[in-house]
Structure 1
Amino acid sequence: MLETSLSQLEQLVNDLVQQNQDLLSSNESLKAQLAQSKDENDSLQLNLMEQEEKHGATAARIQALVERVSAGPVSA
């Protein structure tokens, strides 16, 4: 009976060690994916800020043109 209990305990320990290794591997994979996602997010945010800057400059130019048109005819 003691031998059976010891054998069961060994199997449980082996199972736990394997589960721990699997979890460590999954954790490393998730860390790598998270790092990649953070890099992609940073890149997308920078791209968005650049686009907003371009759109702001375009909007300012359009507004200036609208103001020129609204000022009336230009005397020559």
Structure 2
Amino acid sequence: MLEASLSQLEALVSELVKHNRELSENNAQMSAELARVKDENETLQLNLLEQEEQHGSTAARIQALVERASSAAA
């Protein structure tokens, strides 16, 4: 009976070690994916800031042209 219990315990420990290894591998993959997504997010945010800056500059130029056209018409 003790031998059977010991065999069952060994089997359970073996399963737990295997499961732990799988979880560790999944965790490493998810960590790598998270790092990649964070980098992508940062790049997208920088691109958005650049676009907002360009749009602001364009809006200022259009406003200046409108004011110039308005004052010329007056």
TM-score bracket for the superposition, by shorter chain length: over 0.9
- Aligned-partner Cα distance in 2 for 1:13–1:73: 88
Q: By how many angstroms is 1:20 displaced?
A: 0.5
- Aligned-partner Cα distance in 2 for 1:72–1:50: 33
Counting helix residues as a fraction of each chain, which structure ranks higher?
2
Match of 1:19 in 2: 19
Of all paired residues, the percent bearing the same amino acid is 62
- Structure 2 gaps of 5+ residues are none
**Worse overlay, 62-71 or 27-36:** 62-71
TM-score, normalisation: structure 2:
0.94
TM-score, normalisation: structure 1:
0.92
When the two chains are superposed, the root-mean-square deviation of aligned CA atoms in Å is 1.2
- Aligned-partner Cα distance in 2 for 1:16–1:38: 32
- Aligned-partner Cα distance in 2 for 1:28–1:63: 52
Q: How many residues align?
A: 74
Matched residue type, 1:63 = Q
Matched residue type, 1:47 = N
Match of 1:45 in 2: 45
- Aligned-partner Cα distance in 2 for 1:73–1:26: 69
Runs of 4+ in structure 1 off by over 2 angstroms are none
- Structure 1 gaps of 5+ residues are none
Confirm whether residue 56 of structure 1 aligns to residue 32 of structure 2: no
